[in-house]
Chain A
Amino acid sequence: AQSVTQLDSHVSVSEGTPVLLRCNYSSSYSPSLFWYVQHPNKGLQLLLKYTSAATLVKGINGFEAEFKKSETSFHLTKPSAHMSDAAEYFCVVIEGDSWGKFQFGAGTQVVVTP
């Protein structure tokens, strides 16, 4: 069985400061991990994905995430927040042999202050 826990429901950062969104997962098989972003009343946009290649994954808009198997974590970071980063972020896991049955975290709402 697979599950994912996003450790913070809300994160508030100042523009220009680093962003850290924490995600822990559990999976019986080799997982694939994703981060999606959802802006208000919009669909889901893929930020980045880990699929058993390099453990440090670079995504769009300056985001990156590191897969740490020993810690079962896949935290999302960005060195410098921009106002446009205000959105909800979802950590998602899918087991290696599954078809599209994603397990979504509950989401982290990011607020960026000027």
Chain B
Amino acid sequence: GAGVSQSPSNKVTEKGKDVELRCDPISGHTALYWYRQSLGQGLEFLIYFQGNSAPDKSGLPSDRFSAERTGGSVSTLTIQRTQQEDSAVYLCASSLAGGFYEQYFGPGTRLTVT
């Protein structure tokens, strides 16, 4: 079946502009995660959605970052007033449920802020 998809695959934006990154999780997966990966490094947790529960936003680095998940499926990560340090690959993952269920990752969106 279809895996996790993300769009766009690449995004170049000017400093100060807002960007929206999209994630389509695997159908039927109730948990959805956003991570950020700096060049060649490990992943940094950003936010977690589980069903209709309030999201865990503990990893968001500033109030310029926000995310929503509509209808328990598609998610959008929004970065307002982008800064150069926001440049990274943004990865989305979904799992059947939260906790220890295997997370399936999308290919990521490479964001470059000039």
Bound pair (A, B): no
Binding site for A on B (CB under 8 A): none
